[in-house]
Amino acid sequence: MANKTKSDYDKMSNDDLVTYLDNLSKDDFNSYVDADTKVRYFLYKYGKQFANALKGTGLFYAGVVAQSIGETGYGRSNLATEANNFAGVKYVEGLHPDYYETQTQEVKNGKTVYVTARFAKFPTALDGIKDHVATLMKPAYSQARANAKSPEEQIKMIVQAGYATLSPTAYVNQIKGNIRRIQNKIPIGKVV
């Protein structure tokens, strides 16, 4: 069990924090580590890769990173650790190099159901992040990139355009706390 407090985590260097948290079980990480520390952990591990992948896209840094945090449980899900998939990107034969098959939740006709699905598997974290960004660069999301005035509005527009099976409001509500935490740590807006 994790027996450290937020104050203890705040005193740790980023390298020490990542090493410590990487060695916690998923249950201890999820149960005993505060959200602010989890965001710091994720940003230190992957933040620069997101910033590089987002250059010139018109996407909000905090929105895309919060999306990935939500999709991967702060980078600790099997999909992230086993497949370098940071966005729940489904496998498309001929497009993705490999797949990772797992149980997942989907919302169909307003009901949550569990299905077995194939997700894209990437060689590196950066490859997975770049694919997430490439997905958000599809024409279906052009209005969100061009017109959104905030990360929350952009993510809501992306979900409205078909990104997820959850309602746009519910999706944004799940990640808006982390959008705020990210903006407090790295005050980057739209990446142009």
Quick one: angle between helices 35-54 and 61-72, nearest 10?
A: 120
Residue-level pLDDT, tens digit, the chain, 192 residues: 567 999 999 999 999 999 999 999 999 999 999 999 999 999 999 999 999 999 999 999 999 999 999 999 999 999 999 999 999 888 999 999 899 999 888 878 888 899 999 999 999 999 999 999 999 999 999 999 999 999 999 999 999 999 988 899 999 999 999 999 999 999 888 887
**Which residues neighbour 26 within 8 Å (Cβ) at sequence distance 6 or greater?**
73, 76
Q: Determine the Cα angle at 189 with ends 168 and 47, to 5°.
A: 90
Q: Please name every residue paired with 105 in a beta bridge, in sequence order, or none if there are none.
A: 114
Spatial contact of 69 and 75, defined as CB atoms under 8 Å apart:
yes
Q: Which domains does the chain have, with CATH numbers?
A: 34-81+124-191 (1.10.530.10)
Closest CA to 140 of 158, 153, 167, 156: 158
Exposure string over 24-54, b if 16+ CB within 10 A, otherwise e? beeeebeeebeebbbbbbbbbbbbebbbebb
* Structure letter (DSSP) for residue 110: T
pTM: 0.91
